[in-house]
């Protein structure tokens, strides 16, 4: 037990350092405004009915000029339409899309967040020190295609599942843990935000919270609960989950850490040498009565 606590303590320090380095994180109530509204109810597994506790969208405003003026966000947004969201349908990757993947990785490597993550992983013996080899490692973890649904060809990758979202058998939403994709899909009216998820009425989120547990429907299919960072940069999420992925060989890794004011459970599922899924689960934050 002491050993895992020690590991979590080290991880907490590393992730807080990443948090401080994340200068591309957008500022709540300045660069974007969210409206958490009501607390979402229970949705039975497999059901696509959810009472709507939020009449308005989650995102009231996002400064898109600022968003698209930051290199990593720009390349990240370019990747969001490259995937066939249904599992069981083979992905076909064009040379242009391969180039977009590489540009995204290149742009992340220019940030202090990813430089620090790389340095830390080299120190821990988990990553090659040469930049080119580390980029290849990131590519394999996030972009290498694999079978998620056994019935078809290679239909998924870590990036698609976590950041874009997928649908399974046309009946449920899987993955989809990214705020930029949420905002863009909400703007297109593909997403209906149903409310935040919390254990009780004391855990009410604020407009300036950077982590939320959400309930929503996407093209009519309900996600009963999905953890999501809000406002953080793509490189922060990729760095954080890459570190957790590489520091464990378990099929499922779950660590509890305190990042800034948030006590989070960070969950990563492995799919061979790639990420199957990864997401944050908000356990509590400073402004609540715990």
Lowest mean pLDDT among 82-96, 213-227, 242-256: 82-96
Give the global pTM: 0.93
Q: Is the pLDDT score of 109 beyond 90?
A: yes
* H helix runs in the chain, sequence order: 2-21, 64-68, 71-79, 95-109, 112-123, 131-142, 158-159, 179-187, 234-246
Catalytic residue, from 75, 135, 161, 271: name it: 161
- For the question of residue 258 being annotated catalytic, the response is no
For the chain, give every domain's residue range. 9-285
Confidence label for 120 from pLDDT (cuts 50, 70 and 90): very high
The string of pLDDT tens digits covering residues 131-146 is 999 999 999 999 998 8
Cα(234)–Cα(236) distance, rounded to whole angstroms?
A: 5
Mean pLDDT (the chain) is: 89
Question: Encoding tokens for residue 161?
Answer: 């599942």
Residue predicted with more confidence, 285 or 288? 285
Active site residue 119: no
Q: What is the pLDDT of residues 179-197, one digit of tens each?
A: 999 999 999 999 999 999 9
Residue 92, pLDDT score: 67
pLDDT for the residue numbered 281 = 93
Percent of the chain with pLDDT over 70: 89
Please tell me which of 18-27, 193-202, 207-216, 276-285 the model is most confident about, judged by mean pLDDT.
18-27
197 is catalytic: no
Token pair in block for residue 159: 């990036």
Token pair in block for residue 172: 């449920």
Strand, helix or coil for residue 152: coil
In contact, 216 and 191? CB cutoff 8 Å: yes
pLDDT band at 147 (very low <50, low <70, confident <90, very high): confident
Q: How confident is the model at residue 289 (pLDDT cuts 50, 70, 90)?
A: very low
Integer Cα distance of 260 and 12 in angstroms: 9
Long-range contacts of 8-16 (CB under 8 A, 24+ apart): 8/255, 8/256, 8/257, 11/243, 11/244, 11/247, 11/255, 11/257, 12/257, 12/258, 12/259, 14/120, 14/243, 15/240, 15/243, 15/257, 15/259, 16/258, 16/259, 16/260
Q: Is 250 exposed, middle or buried (0-12, 13-18, 19+ CB in 10 A)?
A: exposed
Active-site option among 135, 194, 223, 271: 223
Catalytic residue, chosen from 75, 118, 135, 177, is 177
- 53-91 pLDDT, tens per residue? 999 999 999 999 999 999 999 999 999 986 666 555 656
């Amino acid at each position: 037990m002491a050993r895992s606590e020690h590991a979590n303590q080290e991880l907490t320090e590393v992730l807080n350092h990443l948090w401080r380095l994340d200068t591309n994180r957008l500022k709540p109530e300045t660069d974007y405004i969210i409206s958490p509204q009501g607390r979402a109810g229970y949705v039975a597994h497999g059901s696509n009915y959810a009472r709507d506790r939020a009449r308005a969208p989650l995102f009231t405003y996002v400064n898109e000029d600022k968003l698209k003026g930051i290199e990593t966000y720009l390349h990240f947004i370019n990747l969001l339409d490259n995937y066939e969201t249904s599992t069981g349908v083979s992905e076909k990757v064009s040379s242009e899309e391969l180039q977009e993947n590489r540009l995204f990785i290149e742009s992340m490597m220019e940030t202090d967040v990813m430089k620090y993550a790389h340095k830390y992983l080299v120190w821990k013996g988990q990553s090659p020190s040469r930049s080119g080899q580390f980029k290849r490692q990131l590519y394999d973890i996030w972009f290498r295609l694999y079978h998620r649904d056994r019935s078809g060809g290679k239909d998924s990758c870590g990036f698609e599942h976590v950041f874009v979202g997928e649908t399974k058998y046309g009946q449920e939403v899987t993955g989809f843990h990214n705020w930029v994709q949420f905002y863009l899909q909400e703007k297109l009216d593909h997403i209906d935000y149903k409310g935040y998820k919390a254990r009780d009425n004391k855990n009410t989120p604020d407009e300036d919270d950077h982590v939320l547990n959400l309930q929503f429907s996407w093209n009519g299919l309900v996600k009963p609960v999905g953890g999501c960072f809000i406002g953080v940069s793509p490189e922060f999420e990729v760095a954080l989950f890459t570190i957790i992925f590489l520091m464990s060989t378990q099929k499922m890794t779950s660590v509890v850490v305190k990042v800034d004011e948030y006590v989070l459970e960070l969950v990563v599922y492995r799919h061979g040498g790639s990420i199957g899924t990864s997401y944050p689960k908000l356990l509590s934050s400073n402004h609540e009565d715990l």
